[in-house]
Structure 1
Amino acid sequence: MRLILFFFSVLAFSLTALAQKHDYYWYFGNGAGIEFHSGKPKTLQNSNLFTEEGSASVSDSEGRLLFYTNGVKVWNRQHNLMPNGTGLWGHVSSTQSALIVKKPGSTTLFYIFTIDEKGRQNGLCYSIVDMMKQRQPKETRMKNEALLTPDLLPHLGKGDITIKNKQLLTPVSEKLTAVRHSNGTAIWVIAHKWNSDAFYAYPVTPDGIGKPVISSVGAMHRNESGRNNGEAIGYLKPSHDGKLLASAMCYKPNSPVEIFSFDNATGKVSDLRNIPTSGYAYGLEFSPDNSKLYVSFLKGKSGITQYDLTADDLFDSGTIVATNDANNIFGALQIGPDKKIYVARIGSYLDAINNPDKAGNKCEYQRSAVHLGKRNCVYGMPNMPVLSMERKSELSISASKQTGSEKMKSPALKINLGNDTVLCNYSMRMDAGNPKASYLWSTGQTTRLIAVTKSGQYWVKIEKNGLMAADTINITFKRGGPEIKLKREITAFCKSKVALDCGVKAEKYLWSTSETTREITVSKGGSYSVTVTDNECNSIARTKVIFDGKPSVFSYLPEFEPENPMFNNYFAYTINDVDKFELKIFSGGGKLLFKTDNPNEKWYGKNKSGKIVPKGKYKWEINYKPTCSEKAKKEMGTLGVKRL
């Protein structure tokens, strides 16, 4: 018997995009900034912000700057520190250190949510900025209003923090984002608890911050790598319709990128889908039409990878659109008001993905798309809330039961979930087809693709352009197929061969190499597959093997100002994967000024007696031994010291 839907009445359908200009100003990195009033990014040189990672900025409805923050300090639109604008409990090395959300129903009150780094005790907090504070005298305001001075915002003040560091949750991962509620007014602020698998979604309403909706789903966020809680690092990003969440755990070994469904009516997170990786995923961003997910990797050869979210196999859909190398160390990804995705790259340029809705290399990845002038980007970009809202159709449905395989549906829509089936697999993915339609499954999910793991009857209803269709399918899982435990991608660092193990005891094994044992050893990179047979059921798994020499990379900023109290006041450099290290700084005449064997120790432009050196050019020299090499290396260069 099948349940066939044959009469549909569309009561309402609308797609509402709430036009906003809150994201017209971006401040990030070592004093870097851009703005979008002309429709394309224009470089700014007026920022006083310094951060290695997270920041946030906000503009009014006309795109005029209000204030910005790195999660520790807050600057007003005139780039001066706000009163009480220091000592916030974010961190300059927290992935999403800060997030600014306007209080619903108010035009002058803003929340600054902050996240501490690596699961430390400050956790998730909020502070409140009142933009009616620090106003000009009435006569001055009236004069400015008469002159229509656009950059002075005469009806507002310069802002002051009236409530600071009210703790909501501790400890937490370095993940913080926001999505508009389905009611179009409230906003969900979402974080993830440390040492837990729980998302916390806080409703922000005109009445304030409500109790969180807690969803326990996905991986545990905890220290497993021994990298000082490095698993806390990595972005949490929502899709632009607020229906999906993507999460990256950068230093969790072989951690997948996780994709969840998000219900912006209830705040629940559910329906995990994994994209296997070899680790180091950091930045995330959805394409404007939500059909693609872009992921940046701090290490490895994946660089910037695009995944097709409509594909049956997300891993196989991955296309590398930019590769990592010594000159390209990628960080955050952030979509702009122009619908392009901008890529943080250490140095004085941003890269851009010009057509992110397009598949593969048709997305038009552009190196060095935006020059930041004398300022520099590091790893982070501004953390922006998703304030668009999609209102789905409301349907009135009549139904009847019919026998056999009869189906009634709109002639303009075609949908076929297939015949009733018995499976040996442990899950089945179903596709409702018809891209850009509205979907409703019997499970309550509203995406085109779903995966099911339990026997039963499943139905889906779809609507597109006022037309509707439906189908049902009965699925029975035999549960006899072996569950192969083979990683989808294996990166072998400093090795000449690697063992591939099915991880399951079974009757038969057949590898793509023609070997018939449970475990094989390979010495070449590439794709390998295995078919495992047990209890008359077959299971197939594939893996990609990458032999990576894990080269050590040294990168640095070419100049700095030791006396600058705000940012860029030391020789900033990074180096990875070394066993031995030594850095020396010399004067132009060859005199040794600084020496260290600690890669984390910085040179603040001082000589051995502790005095700041004169401005000019200085020489640096590093000696190091890469982890994967017996041969030591030496590099030299020059850097500039500027004086105020």
Structure 2
Amino acid sequence: MLLLGITTRAWAQPEAYNWKFGEQSGIRFPAGAGPVMSPGAMGTYEGCASISDAEGVLQCYANTETVWDRNGTIMPNGRLMGSHSSATQGVLLVRGPGQARWYYLFTVDALENNLSGGLRYSIVDMSLRGGLGDVQATNSRPLPVPGNGLVAEKLTAIRHANNRDYWIVVHGWNNNSFYAYLLNGQGISTTPVVSAIGSVHSMAGGPLSALGYLRASPNSRRLASAQMRPGGVELFDFNPTTGQVVAMRNLPPVGASPYGLEFSADNSKLYIGDDRLIHQVDITNNLFISTLPIPSNRVYALQRGPDSRIYVALAGTPLLGVIQQPNTAGPACALDAKGFTLSTGRVTGGLPNFPNAFAPALLINPVAAGCPGSVVEFSTSTVPPAGGIFTWIFDDPASGAANNATGPTATHRYTKGGTYTITLTLTAPGPIFESTQRTITVPDAPGFSLGPRQQLLCHGQTLTLSAGTVPAGTTFRWQDGSTSPTYIVRTPGRYSLQLTSLQGCTAHDSVEVLAADAPVVRLGRDTTLCGGWQSVVLRATAQPAGSTYQWQDGATTAEYTARQPGVYWLEVRNQAGCTTRDSVVIQNAAPGNCPTVTIPNIITPNNDQRNDFFVLQGLTASDWDITIYSRWGQPVYEQTSYTNSWAAVGQPAGTYYYLLRNPATHQQLRGWVEVIR
């Protein structure tokens, strides 16, 4: 049994494998490797978000106004309110803690709308529309924001210290407050944790103070904020347990118009996009700043990919800059201004807005299902919270109590092939409840039969054994090691076949072949017949029940009446399939060896004792049945085993017609006779 390896969920998390952004642009990261093209249907200037499931399958994507399903179709309830396409981090998608199929979609408004939309959320339910999902009927629900209800164009999600929940963090407008809303298994809190720290975001710093990114480090311990004004970057410590912004780092003024922010995967570097420059802040080296130029192109969003590289939005081009080694200090970080070229679409200001790190999803690790009767092993790599209990249901109710198990690993034995949906649930105090499913297919064992347990082999003949029709890819192994689909048996004995399916499942069958006797058939000696009226009845010797017959002309009766000279043969097949054939030659009898047959055509029934009766001469009359017909076809006389006694009693003179039938030989003689009175 092969159990596929458990994946370590560092930053290379499948939820970020698919990106949709810009003007019908998109890339994906197969299995977390480098990007390939994957265009989308969306057009957006800045804010955008994408989300995939725990196995890297795209679920949906959105800008600040519209939600698309994975096929690029706008969801039926996918029109959003209260935001604007120019909002820096205008939209964010996060899987609901404890919810395998619910994704929270958050939006903030843009300065173009005077930030009036505030902070809103919707829920995308991926169980709807056959797994394509839809936004729940009530969307764009406002969340209470303290004070004036306004927030800047900043929106991020920070993974909680419990590795399960999130803090949804925004920054107030006309104040210096960060608002952190807890998203947990009970939903989104409506009362934020407020941290008044750092600079005031307001028009006093210029209208562009509302613009710029808010980013947390992968370990949730640092928080960076950018205002698009000189020296507008601030670096803070963040408490992922309480949601508080607790301390401000003394970051030297950097940048004339900072916009995009991103941390390296190892939390050691902060990158700042600033017009045609990228600044690297080495957090582990006294906040030392290195500056890297991007010739000719303005830098907008920065986003860390599942491959741990940082991608740079170069607005108005088909280009993504790439920082190849973000953990490395200074120019050795290997900034490539033309790191990836889109084959379709165009980059604008935004790249997908992801949480700083994804909470581990409840996930059933990939499973290789064996053949019926073998043990299938299941496991989850999810680390449970204190008091957490894993419960498995194997979709096999016929197995009774074995259909359920508990613990991070489990085994089950399926006795039949088929498709089974495995359900894993996690329960813990809190309350915490999360459920996920995985479908597995247990291949059917190859079903076949070589036929009856005992079979008969006729002397001098062969018997063909076969498994019949089997799936493509099936292999054969007979008792002597041969591998043909069929086997020709020539001698009695035991014969067996093992089939192996393409999936490696085996089945076995065997038969005992016994010697069978051939039927004994004797038609007798060659003989003669007298043509014209005589026939010969041919009969086989007595045969066992179930025997079949075939004569030379295809007849299948046990008896055969020969009326002409020739060679006649009979083949008898018994129940074992053995056949025997015998033949006989029938010739015309030599002249003088046949009796003279005379059937009169005139009688004179006048009681003169001469020719009064219709008398058959040369035939034994009692061997024949007779019927006499009038000239109009009406029967006027019938007798079984004729006695030569018809005298046309009660019939007028005239012409009559006779039919003679021999019931033993099935011979018939026809003619006419004149009655004269």
TM-score by length of 2: 0.49
2:321 counterpart residue number: 351
Is 1:329 the counterpart of 2:298 in the alignment?
yes
2:135 counterpart residue number: 160
Distance 1:18 1:50 in 2: 27
- Of 210, 219, 228, 2:199 maps to 219
Write out per-residue CA displacement over residues 85-141 of structure 1, whole angstroms, 9 at most, x where no aligned residue.
Answer: 113322210100100011111111111000100252101100111111112xxxxxx
Amino acid at match of 1:263: N
Alignment of 1:360-399 (within 5 A): 360-387=330-357
Alignment of 1:27-176 (within 5 A): 27-37=20-30, 39-45=33-39, 47-118=40-111, 119-135=114-130, 156-168=131-143, 169=145, 170-176=149-155
Distance 2:188 2:300 in 1: 31
Relative distance call for 1:344 and 1:209 in structure 2 (3 A) is: same
Relative distance call for 1:166 and 1:123 in structure 2 (3 A) is: same
Secondary structure at the aligned position of 1:361 is classed as helix
- Residue 18 of structure 1 and its aligned partner are, at CA, apart by 7.9
Distance 1:18 1:33 in 2: 20
Relative distance call for 1:24 and 1:17 in structure 2 (3 A) is: closer
Relative distance call for 1:94 and 1:58 in structure 2 (3 A) is: same
Relative distance call for 1:208 and 1:95 in structure 2 (3 A) is: same
- Residue 389 of structure 1 and its aligned partner are, at CA, apart by 7.2
Distance 1:189 1:238 in 2: 11
Amino acid at match of 1:338: D
Structure showing greater Rg: 2
Please list every run of 5 or more consecutive structure 2 residues that lacks an aligned counterpart in the other structure: 1-7, 361-677
Distance 2:110 2:261 in 1: 18
Distance 2:26 2:239 in 1: 34
- Residue 158 of structure 1 and its aligned partner are, at CA, apart by 3.1
Distance 1:106 1:77 in 2: 19
- Of 155, 163, 171, 1:184 maps to 163
8 Å CA contact 2:11–2:306 kept in 1: the answer is: no
Secondary structure at the aligned position of 1:224 is classed as helix
Secondary structure at the aligned position of 2:209 is classed as helix
TM-score by length of 1: 0.52
The percent of aligned pairs where both chains have the same amino acid is: 39
1:260 counterpart residue number: 236
- Residue 318 of structure 1 and its aligned partner are, at CA, apart by 1.3
Distance 1:378 1:16 in 2: 30
- Of 180, 188, 196, 1:209 maps to 188
- Residue 161 of structure 1 and its aligned partner are, at CA, apart by 3.1
Relative distance call for 1:184 and 1:239 in structure 2 (3 A) is: same
Q: Give the structure, 1 or 2, with the largest relative contact order (CA under 8 Å, sep 6 or more).
A: 1
Distance 1:243 1:337 in 2: 20
Distance 1:189 1:16 in 2: 22
Secondary structure at the aligned position of 1:305 is classed as strand
Secondary structure at the aligned position of 1:357 is classed as coil
Amino acid at match of 2:312: V
Write out per-residue CA displacement over residues 182-201 of structure 1, whole angstroms, 9 at most, x where no aligned residue.
Answer: 11221111000111100000
8 Å CA contact 1:350–1:367 kept in 2: the answer is: yes
Structure 1 stretches of 4+ with a deviation exceeding 3 A read: 15-19
8 Å CA contact 1:44–1:372 kept in 2: the answer is: no
Distance 1:105 1:374 in 2: 37
Please list every run of 5 or more consecutive structure 1 residues that lacks an aligned counterpart in the other structure: 1-14, 136-155, 391-644
Alignment of 1:7-46 (within 5 A): 17=10, 20-37=13-30, 39-45=33-39
1:230 counterpart residue number: 208
Distance 2:141 2:121 in 1: 5
Distance 2:255 2:56 in 1: 40
Relative distance call for 1:264 and 1:298 in structure 2 (3 A) is: same
1:528 counterpart residue number: none
Amino acid at match of 1:181: H
Secondary structure at the aligned position of 2:153 is classed as strand
Distance 1:288 1:322 in 2: 22
Write out per-residue CA displacement over residues 409-428 of structure 1, whole angstroms, 9 at most, x where no aligned residue.
Answer: xxxxxxxxxxxxxxxxxxxx
RMSD: 1.8
Relative distance call for 1:278 and 1:307 in structure 2 (3 A) is: closer
Is 1:308 the counterpart of 2:288 in the alignment?
no
Distance 2:359 2:239 in 1: 12
Q: Identify the range of structure 1 (158-167 vs 91-100) with the bigger mean alpha-carbon deviation.
A: 158-167
1:338 counterpart residue number: 307
8 Å CA contact 1:72–1:86 kept in 2: the answer is: yes
8 Å CA contact 1:90–1:115 kept in 2: the answer is: yes
- Residue 17 of structure 1 and its aligned partner are, at CA, apart by 4.3
Distance 1:355 1:188 in 2: 29
Distance 1:114 1:288 in 2: 26
Distance 1:348 1:161 in 2: 35
